[in-house]
Amino acid sequence: MKRLKKYGVFVILTLILGGFIAFVEKQSIYKTYQGTEIEIEGVSGLYFVDKQEIETLLAEAFPNLKVGLLLEEVPLNAIEDRLEGHPFIKMADASIGQKGILQLYLEQHQPIARIVRPLAADGYITTEGKIIPISPSYTSRVLILSGDMAEKLLNEGGVMNQMPELMDLIRFISEDEFWNAQITEVEIRERDDIRLYQQVGEQVIELGDAADLEDKFDRIQIFYSEILPRKGWDAYDRVSVKFKEQIVCE
Q: What is the largest CA-CA distance in the chain?
A: 116
Domain that holds residue 236: 111-249
Examine the domain organization and report whether 129 and 226 are in the same domain: yes
Residue 2 domain-assigned? no
Q: Which of 45-49, 57-61, 112-116, 177-181 has the lowest mean pLDDT?
A: 45-49
Give me the number of domains the chain comprises: 2
Is the domain of 97 the same as that of 166? Answer: no
Identify whether 23 is part of a domain.
no
Classify residue 7: in a domain, yes or no. Answer: no
Percent of the chain surpassing pLDDT 90:
66
User: Is residue 117 helix, strand or coil?
Assistant: coil
Per-residue pLDDT band for 28 (boundaries 50, 70, 90) equals very low
User: Is it the case that residue 16 has pLDDT exceeding 80?
Assistant: no
Q: What is the CATH number of the domain that holds 83?
A: 3.10.20.310
Query: 13 or 46: whose pLDDT is higher?
Result: 46
On whether both 219 and 117 belong to a single domain, the answer is yes
Q: Are residues 119 and 207 in the same domain?
A: yes
- Whole-number pLDDT of residue 49: 86
pLDDT at 163: 95
Shared domain for 228 and 144, answered yes or no, is yes
pLDDT band at 14 (very low <50, low <70, confident <90, very high): low
Give φ, ψ of 72 to 5 degrees: -70, -15
pLDDT of residue 134: 87
Q: Which of 84, 108, 132 delimits the end of a domain? A: 108
125: CATH: 3.40.50.11690
d(CA 5, CA 2): 5
Tens of pLDDT, residues 102-158: 999 999 999 999 999 988 889 999 999 999 998 877 778 899 999 999 999 988 888
When pLDDT is cut at 50, 70 and 90, the band that residue 22 belongs to is very low
Mean pLDDT of 163-174: 96
pLDDT at residue 215 in the model: 95
Same domain, 115 and 84: no
233: left (phi over 0), alpha (psi -120 to 50) or beta: alpha
Mean pLDDT of 163-175: 96
139, 42: one domain: no
194 within domain boundaries: yes
Mean pLDDT (the chain) is 87
Residues 98 and 219 in one domain: no
Residue 157: inside a domain: yes
pLDDT(24) > 50: no
Tell me which DSSP letter residue 158 carries: B
Residues 179 and 194 in one domain: yes
CA–CA separation, 94 vs 182, rounded Å? 42
Q: What percent of the chain has pLDDT over 70?
A: 88
Of the three residues 108, 134, 154, the one that is the final residue of a domain is 108
Angle between helices 213-222 and 165-174 (to 10 degrees): 40
Residue 131 falls inside a structural domain? yes
Average pLDDT rounded to a whole number, residues 72-78: 95
Mean pLDDT within 199-226: 93
User: 187 lies in a domain?
Assistant: yes
Q: Which of 108, 141, 157 is the last residue of a domain?
A: 108
User: Do 117 and 130 sit in the same domain of this protein?
Assistant: yes
DSSP conformation letters of 164-232: THHHHHHHHHHTSHHHHHHEEEEEEEETTEEEEEESS--PEEEEESSSSHHHHHHHHHHIIIIIHHHH-
Is 167 within a domain? yes
Same domain? 101 vs 193: no
Q: How confident is the model at residue 70 (pLDDT cuts 50, 70, 90)?
A: very high
Residue 38 and residue 104 in contact, taking contact as beta carbons nearer than 8 Å: yes
Question: pLDDT confidence of 44, banded at 50, 70, 90?
Answer: confident
Looking at the structure, tell me whether residues 142 and 54 fall in a common domain: no
179: Cβ contacts below 8 Å, ≥ 6 apart: 172, 173, 217
- For 59-87, b/e burial (b = at least 16 CB within 10 A) is eeeeeebeeebeeeebeeeebbebbeebe
Task: Find the mean pLDDT for residues 224-246.
Answer: 88
